[in-house]
Structure 1
């Protein structure tokens, strides 16, 4: 395993050294910055960099909505495996929802386009990347700069990014106010030390992360994914919640059901998309009948972290 990790890190460094030259300008429509910048970023999308362990640089996009200054809710949006921060931004439409509702969105890049969500996925898992520590650092940075409200930190993610959102909620249940997962699964054993508020979206025709369980968590990890119902039951048990028997949304192809809010303030909601595939509802190329991003924010906006 050490040999594999060393080889992956060499490949990563080689890619970094042969990539964009030092001082290359940011992509069109983006401004550049560093995590330690003291100047408050204005409205728009900014490309920023965090340094981990004094060596590794991790990039993220920070979208700041127009309006008043001050601490705002923060949504961290985690891309799927082999995607990147730019694709996550373009495919979800979260910027528009943020502008309409006044919250920040951070789109971080995973290690070699993957996240270490436990049993999945690929390079980040094999290299032993500590993505929980990376997300801790990202939150600390944005809260420390007076940008993010520590009581309103939310994670959302697609596929591998959704699994990473679940993992962070497992290990940092008292730090995250709620998570929203699309086409993702819980790929790690954990025991959260507090209830977690969860909204999930999953298509019944998802062959990458099957709705009824199965498939392979990773190309070199043949463990099957658990059924979506088992993941929801796990979060219900953590929160001591009722069954998912109250319908909040019904369309031709989608049914959303919630447990309702429990005594601790926790809640679990599942939106099942009949014949839906491995996609972000309402995103690029997806059926526009259901738009996940506004519904995720609706759920988030109802929940702040206790304490």
Structure 2
């Protein structure tokens, strides 16, 4: 079930155009989120990967849990580590539950998720190696086991989380939001997956048809993504729970893994429950708190 490949318009050439930043507010970008202030508990770090310096932010709670966890949160296209830290509420969850959150920065503010996106894809950036090195560094520093290591991401970051799950066994669970698979992924290792998607998402469509965003995404249909991970995990038929506007399809899998698809009616390309985006027509849905739901899923993995 390899996703269809098609030529991509190059995002990097448009980065300097102000209208592009406005058009991509669906990725959670706000112009006032680019200052250099570091919140308490957060450190800016640099790690060398393949001879290239890569940066990430790490939020360290005042009190680590007895069995600490790591969540890697990957920003959307044209987003940043700092923007993701501010927009999605992970620091508050980290402080309350005692886990570490890493916010890596993509090159050209994009991730090479396979057949997407922009400068990172064009330059064949080895983001798999970057995230692998970051994870290893933080696991060693904080004594975090592989079964307490998780990844999530928005849009292009969600696609990157899928690529990592397709090509590595770094994570016990992933939780992509508003993304899809845009890389070959024939036989992934069993992994717990929570996928959250707005039914009206026009940038990464549920049916896999080309989206209306600049990334021109036409990856795997979301139903096929869900079926791929259920097959990989030897999962039972899903149990459907309908609580409008939220519908949940949950499958119990071998070795206590789970594969869950959560869809939100009347929601577009967004992270439900995140900070409102100034000037955006597609504001985050208030139907659920995606961050709280994802951490609950990870913590039970």
TM-score range, shorter chain: 0.7 to 0.9
Cα 1:152–1:281 change in 2 (3 A) is same
- Deviation of 1:289 after TM superposition, in Å, equals 2.4
Matches within 5 A, 1:135-174: 135-172=131-168, 174=169
- Deviation of 1:284 after TM superposition, in Å, equals 1.6
CA distance in 2, matches of 1:135, 1:94: 18
* SS state at 1:202 partner: strand
Which protein has greater RCO, CA pairs closer than 8 Å, 6+ apart? 2
Kept after mapping to 1: 8 A contact 2:203/2:217: no
Kept after mapping to 2: 8 A contact 1:211/1:228: yes
Kept after mapping to 2: 8 A contact 1:119/1:218: no
Cα 1:192–1:50 change in 2 (3 A) is farther
CA distance in 2, matches of 1:251, 1:165: 27
Cα 1:65–1:121 change in 2 (3 A) is same
Q: Which residue of 1 aligns with 2:50?
A: 53
CA distance in 2, matches of 1:230, 1:193: 14
Q: Which residue of 2 aligns with 1:226?
A: 220
Cα 1:231–1:131 change in 2 (3 A) is same
Q: Which residue of 2 aligns with 1:270?
A: 261
Kept after mapping to 2: 8 A contact 1:200/1:270: yes
Residue of structure 2 aligned with 1:297, choices 291, 295, 298: 295
CA distance in 2, matches of 1:68, 1:143: 13
Kept after mapping to 2: 8 A contact 1:70/1:147: no
Q: Which residue of 2 aligns with 1:110?
A: 106
Q: Which residue of 2 aligns with 1:29?
A: 38
Q: Which residue of 2 aligns with 1:184?
A: 179
* SS state at 1:181 partner: strand
* TM-score, normalising length: structure 1: 0.79
Kept after mapping to 2: 8 A contact 1:143/1:149: yes
Structure showing greater radius of gyration is: 1
- Deviation of 1:122 after TM superposition, in Å, equals 1.1
CA distance in 1, matches of 2:111, 2:235: 29
- Deviation of 1:243 after TM superposition, in Å, equals 2.6
- Deviation of 1:279 after TM superposition, in Å, equals 0.3
Q: Which residue of 2 aligns with 1:253?
A: 245
Kept after mapping to 1: 8 A contact 2:164/2:170: no
* TM-score, normalising length: structure 2: 0.81
Structure 1, residues 28-80: CA drift from partner, whole Å, max 9, x if none? 234xxxxxxxxxxxx711111111223x1111110011214876200000000
CA distance in 2, matches of 1:283, 1:145: 30
Structure 1: stretches of 5+ with no match in the other structure: 1-7, 12-25, 31-42
- Deviation of 1:282 after TM superposition, in Å, equals 0.1
Matches within 5 A, 1:190-205: 190-192=185-187, 194-205=189-200
CA distance in 1, matches of 2:211, 2:64: 46
- Deviation of 1:231 after TM superposition, in Å, equals 0.7
Structure 2: stretches of 5+ with no match in the other structure: 1-11, 16-34, 277-283
CA distance in 1, matches of 2:124, 2:230: 30
Q: Which residue of 1 aligns with 2:94?
A: 98
